[in-house]
Structure 1
């Protein structure tokens, strides 16, 4: 546990910096909107658009997405319930939460993991929009920090989880699509 103490200190300092400045309430409003784009409804819309419009890559995008989420969701659940890391506001009354999270623990960030699944798959199948997709996924992770429900390391691990699951799905399906 001593090995992660420096990370925990950095996480707390970063969250304190993000949540205790004079613009944190204004940023929280924008962060809510950004975070909401990672709630899942846009993923379904992207899949439907890809399936319905793109006769070349749409089917592969949807199948890879289904497999990636089939990997990501149970891994996310196991990690979250294994680490049982408390959320920022639970660790300090100085760290406000601007929303009520949908589950109890913070590590990894599920919103960030899902956003990076989508960004990785979009980058693979539609490279012209890869930059925008990864900026969007990063903004979702940042929004989760600015809302006070995740630490920086939660978001980083969520991004790695999402990217890893999407990459594994592409590798597995590579010769089948």
Structure 2
């Protein structure tokens, strides 16, 4: 009974956070801004960061980029499996007060793949070229916020996506020496 009450309380707090952040989408300017952030977070921004690593570090870092792509593939596999196992509907699908600001790339909410990939890329690329963190950290935060402001994810989806991305990034950085990759 205690577990059920704690779960209900958690879901209530999660929804309140989602509703609060989604309220900002009532402004067309804010919605447009976060749509742009979300679309850049689909890959364009990260491709520019990879290009920046190559420019700053040279083509010697091509192996790290390949490893980042492999990590991204593993991240995609993890979040897709979780989405199909948890089948958590997106907030706008369940709660009429949530305004959809952008069309989703897939059907389910948990976890946030955008946030997972943003955190993973920020940690790995930031480890290689720390100077890029001044661009990547704020952008990663904006990507995470965009998912909730646009009504696509609950805060817990974003937090779990960030944790998964962080774990994957740490694994990439820690495993690199054993795979003969210099980070």
Calculate the TM-score normalised by the size of structure 1. Answer: 0.88
**1:146-175 deviation line (CA, Å, top 9, x unaligned):** 101111111111111111112112222223
Equivalent position of 1:69 in the other structure: 72
- Give 3-state SS (helix, strand or coil) of 2:42's partner: coil
1:1-177 alignment to 2 at 5 Å? 2=4, 3-20=6-23, 23-51=26-54, 54-55=57-58, 58-175=61-178, 176-177=180-181
Deviation at 1:44, TM superposition (A): 2.9
Q: Pick which of 127-136 and 45-54 moved more.
A: 45-54
Kept after mapping to 1: 8 A contact 2:90/2:108: yes
Cα distance, 1:117–1:57 mapped onto 2, change above 3 Å: farther
Q: Contact conserved, 1:24 with 1:146, CA < 8 A, in 2?
A: no
> CA–CA distance in 2 between the matches of 1:83 and 1:66?
25
The 1-side partners of 2:21 and 2:149 are apart by 6
* Distance in 1, Cα, partners of 2:84 & 2:44: 25
Task: Report if aligned partners of 1:11, 1:153 keep a CA contact under 8 Å in 2.
Answer: yes
- Confirm or deny: 8 A CA contact 1:113 1:159 kept in the other structure: yes
**Residues 6 and 156 of structure 1: is their aligned pair in 2 closer, same or farther, counting only changes over 3 Å?**
same
Whether the 8 Å contact between 2:25 and 2:150 is mirrored in structure 1 is no
Q: In terms of mean alpha carbon deviation, does 146-155 or 162-171 score higher? A: 162-171
Structure 1 segments of 4 or more deviating over 6 A?
Answer: none
Tell me whether 85-94 or 48-57 shows the greater mean CA deviation.
Answer: 48-57
CA deviation vs aligned residue, 1:104-160 (integer Å, no higher than 9, x gap): 101111111111111111221112232432221111010111101111111111111
Residue pair 1:80, 1:105 contacting (<8 A) in 2 also: yes
- Size of the alignment, in residue pairs? 177
Unaligned 5+ segments in structure 2 are none
